[in-house]
Structures are given as C-alpha cells and as structure tokens.
Amino acid sequence: MNPNARLIMLGADSETRGSIAAVVDAYREHGLFRRWPIDYLPTHGDGGAARNAALALGAFRRFALLLARHRHALVHMHLCARGNAARDAAFMAAALAARSPLVVQMHGAGLERSHGSALMRGLLGRAACVIVPCESMRPWARSVAREAHTVCLPNPVLTFGAPEVAPLERRPNLILFLGRLEASKGIFDLLEAVAALRGTLPDVRLVCAGDGQRIAVARYAERLGIADAVKFTGWVGPSGKRALLETAAAFALPSYDEALPNGLCEAMAAGVPAVVSPVGGIPEVVTDGVSGLLVAPGDKATLERQLRRLLTDRALGARLGAAARETARMRFAAERSIGRLEEIYGALGLSAAQSGPVPA
C-alpha cells in the first residue's frame, strides 16, 4: 500500500454488543492495526439515542478532516441490520464524494430490509468491494452492488481457547444458547424442547447468554414449568463466553433467519457440538451428522430428539465437536480471514483513487 495513504475504518464502539465489535477486536488482537495505517472511528455503540448521536457527529467531523488530509484514503465500513441506515449512508456518501475506495463489510441477516433503499443501493453500487460473511449473502450483495467486487470472507473467531477443561462426557447436561433473545432465533422453540427433555433428563439446564426479550422468555419458561432450569446471563464478553463454552455439553440455535452467527462459530471453535437450523450460511459450515446436527426451523420434536442424542451419547457429541473444531480452524482462524482482508487492502492500495482487481 502507498506509504502515504491512510485507511479509515468505521464501525461500533469497543465493548458494543454484536459481531462488528467482536470482529474489530479480532483484527486488533491479531495485529491488523499494527501492520496498516488505520484510523478507527466508532460511529455507534450500546448507549441511548443521545450518546449515539454524539458518537456519530464526532466521528463524522473527524472523518471529514481525515478525508481532507489524506486524499483518496481507503475507507472500510462495517454495516449491520441493527444499524442506522441514514447514518451509514452519510458516511458512505462522504467517502465516495472524496473519491475514496470504499470497502463495505456486511454483518448478520436482515440487511436487505434495513439497507435496501434506493439510496443505499446506489451507494453500495459504487463501492470498490463488498464483503459478506457467507455465500448465502452473496446473491443479494451482487444484486445491489453490481459494479462492486463481492468477496465472501467469514468473520474471524478471536480465540480458539485451550484444550477442553472438562471432556464432554464429564460435563453436566447443560445446553448453551448464545444470541439475541427473540422469536426469530428460535428461543421459544428451544424452551419447549427443554421442557420435553425434562421427562427423561430431569437435570437438564439451559443457559441463555444474550440480551433481547428476556422478560418474555422468562415468562414462557415459567408457563412451561422449567423456570428453575433456565438461567439468563445477559450479554457476555469473550471471557464469559469462554467460561460458558468450557462447561456446555451442547450448543443450540434453532433460528429462522441468520447469516453466519458468531455464537455458532465460537461454539464450533471450542469443540461444543451444535444443534442448529439450516438457514443462511449455516449449512456452509455445518454438515449434518458430521460437524453438527441440523433441524428445520420450527421442528420442535426433532430439536428435542437431537438435543437428547447429544446429551445421552457423549461419544457422538465428542465426534461432532472435534469435526466442528477442525472446520472452525480451517474457516474462521483469524490469520486466514485477516490475510485475505490484507490482500484486498493491498489490491485497492495499488491506485490511490481507483480499485484494482480484488481477490474473489
């Protein structure tokens, strides 16, 4: 890259919940910010509207100064469905007005709804590169950004952890849910499956790690008579996730809509066998009966049966977990993802104002 050029990255504030902050943390941990001249500008966070407005305004002022100081700086912007499309559009428009090569990295499902306006389509269409985390998102990205290079680049997992603290066969009957507590994630279906399991596995427990509709989920657990079997941790950071993954016997995410969920990637990296739905990019990384178990969304009977298999046949769980860990090592290792991202940076940096060929 031109040593006089700058790279401006826009995304979530540190400690923000969601995949953007987790991915940026992985980039920092593995040296991306040391190897490249990156100015990171947090445009939003977990605070209320006033704090987010202040963050966006401050970021935009600094962004304008950087664009003025460094002609045609490369801009790398992270987008998610829960973001503010108008705010994102303002930053993208400013980058394009400055004739800066624009890399847009997409996170999570639902962007076609939140960022599908004619304005956003026009801006995405002028991006130099659009990064998606799984192949299932590539068709939509190509449909809205026909002139941009579209690259499939799975999000890196920050750490794979040490070998299991406790082998699966010695772990309690604990099922882990990592994700937002809402119906689209299948959490209410999972509660019904756990209630059915109680008949033959009275010691089964479910840990729900995430924010969202906690009160509604807790009330449904009470209605099912399993309130004592369900624990809510709220959102947890990397160390909290590691502790949960070291004690879980199974991971469950029976979603109705996904891209490629970070929670699943982290569970696979930790060798925890998973029962998940074949939606979005999940079938790209989980092979049924080989590296996990797939259950159709809403099929609560099969969900209960597959969880029972994992909890009663720990040898099966160990085999699936080992295969999942190897898949994660091959697909989600930070070194691999960051290496490919650096190739994109290098290709775009060959010309100060225009993109060169981007690795597919």
pLDDT digits 0-9 by tens, 319-335: 999 999 999 999 998 88
Question: Which percentage of the chain shows pLDDT scores above 70?
Answer: 93
Residue 151: beta bridge partners?
131
Distance CA 155, CA 336 (A): 10
- What Å distances lie between residue 65 and 99, 126, 253, CA to CA? 15, 22, 43
Tokens representing 160? 């794979």
Backbone phi, then psi, for 132, in 5-degree steps?
Answer: -120, 150
pLDDT tens per residue across span 28-48: 999 999 999 999 999 999 988
User: Is 7-156+333-348's fold the same as 168-331's?
Assistant: yes
Q: Where are the beta strands (DSSP E) in the chain?
A: 7-12, 38-44, 74-80, 102-107, 129-132, 149-152, 174-178, 205-209, 230-232, 250-253, 274-276, 293-294
Q: pLDDT at residue 355 above 70?
A: no
- Whether the CB-CB separation of 1 and 32 falls below 8 Å is answered with no
Residue 144 has pLDDT above 60, yes or no: yes
pLDDT value at residue 166: 75
The answer to whether 318 and 328 are in contact (CB under 8 A) is no
pLDDT exceeds 60 at position 160: no
Chain segment 258-290, per-residue pLDDT in tens: 999 999 999 999 999 999 999 999 999 999 999
| CATH level 3 topology of 168-331 | Rossmann fold (3.40.50)
Q: How far apart are CA 131 and CA 134, in angstroms?
A: 9
**pTM summary value:** 0.89
- Give the chain's mean pLDDT: 91
Token code pair at residue 304: 């209960």
Residue 3 has pLDDT above 70, yes or no: no
Average pLDDT over residues 341-356: 66
pLDDT of residue 108: 87
Q: What is the mean pLDDT of residues 243-260?
A: 96
Predicted pLDDT at 352 = 31
pLDDT for 71 = 85
Q: Domain 7-156+333-348, what architecture?
A: 3-Layer(aba) Sandwich (3.40)
Residue 167 has pLDDT above 80, yes or no: yes
Q: With pLDDT > 90 as the criterion, what percentage of the chain qualifies?
A: 76
Coil/strand/helix, residue 303: helix
The predicted-structure confidence for 306-321, as pLDDT tens digits, reads as follows 999 999 999 999 999 9
Local confidence band at 159 (pLDDT 50, 70, 90 cut-offs): low
Number of neighbouring beta carbons within 10 Å of residue 119: 13
- What is the mean pLDDT of the segment spanning 141-151? 86
Q: Average pLDDT in the 115-139 region?
A: 92
Three-state secondary-structure class, residue 166 = coil
pLDDT recorded at residue 165: 61
Residue listed under structure tokens 């995430």: 210
Average pLDDT on 297-302 reads 98
Please state the domain extents for the chain. 7-156+333-348, 168-331
